[in-house]
Amino acid sequence: MYSEKVMDHFQNPRNVGEIENASGMGTVGNAKCGDIMRIYLDIDENHVIRDVKFKTFGCGAAVATSSMATELVKGKTIEEAMQVTNKAVCEALDGLPPVKIHCSLLAEEAIHAALWDYAEKNNIVIEGLEKPKTDIGEEEIEEEY
Ligand code: FES
């Protein structure tokens, strides 16, 4: 049912963890299943994503897509990171079963939420970035853990 790449990223997820004093952090929830994803970004003065970490309270497909998404945005500029859509992540994983496509949205939304946080903190506008709709508070994820 899952591609080898999905299984690999699910079993050996890359970039799990957190970044202290992250440049941007975003936490989103998936309304369909209640799963939660948090992304931390470390962004340098040239707007390049130096490091990225994620934490999730989510399903295997959410873990695999987040792992791949973090690999895809690492070392990229914030503008390039905006091109990493859930479609791009799914393609990089050789596809996901249709019922699991919604899981891949979590990673994209969490990255956007973290970029939004970064943009707000630094008073900049990132082209094409909209305020995340599903960003949830600090408190809620702590309760889930
Ligand atoms: Fe919730 Fe996959 S079932 S993110």
Query: With respect to CATH, is domain 4-124 assigned 3.30.70.1400?
Result: no
Strands 24-29 and 49-57: unpaired
The residue nearest atom 4 of ligand 1, judged by CA position, is: 103
The mean pLDDT of the chain is 90
pLDDT-derived band of residue 134, with 50, 70 and 90 as boundaries? low
**Residue 6 Cα to ligand 1 middle (Å):** 14
25 CB less than 6 Å from ligand 1?
no
pLDDT-derived band of residue 10, with 50, 70 and 90 as boundaries? very high
90 is catalytic: no
3-state helix/strand/coil string of 94-140 = CCCCHHHHHHHHHHHHHHHHHHHHHHHHHCCCCCCCCCCCCECCHHH
pLDDT tens-place string over residues 61-93 = 999 999 999 999 999 999 999 999 989 999 999
pLDDT at 135: 55
**Residue 59 Cα to ligand 1 middle (Å):** 5
Output phi, psi for 18, to 5 deg: -140, 165
pLDDT-derived band of residue 142, with 50, 70 and 90 as boundaries? very low
Nearest Cα neighbor of 79 from 111, 103, 123, 107 is 111
Q: Per the structure block, which two tokens stand in for 21?
A: 């004093």
Segments making up each domain of the chain, as ranges: 4-124
Rg (alpha carbons) of the chain, rounded to whole number: 14
86 CB less than 6 Å from ligand 1?
no
Q: Provide the whole-model pTM.
A: 0.89
Mutating to test ligand 1, I would choose from 27, 57, 102 the residue with most ligand atoms within 8 A of its C-beta, which is 102
CB 54 within 8 A of CB 110: yes
Q: Per the structure block, which two tokens stand in for 87?
A: 């479609």
104 CB less than 6 Å from ligand 1?
no
Edge to edge, the sheet with strand 24-29 lists 24-29, 36-43, 49-57
103 is catalytic: yes
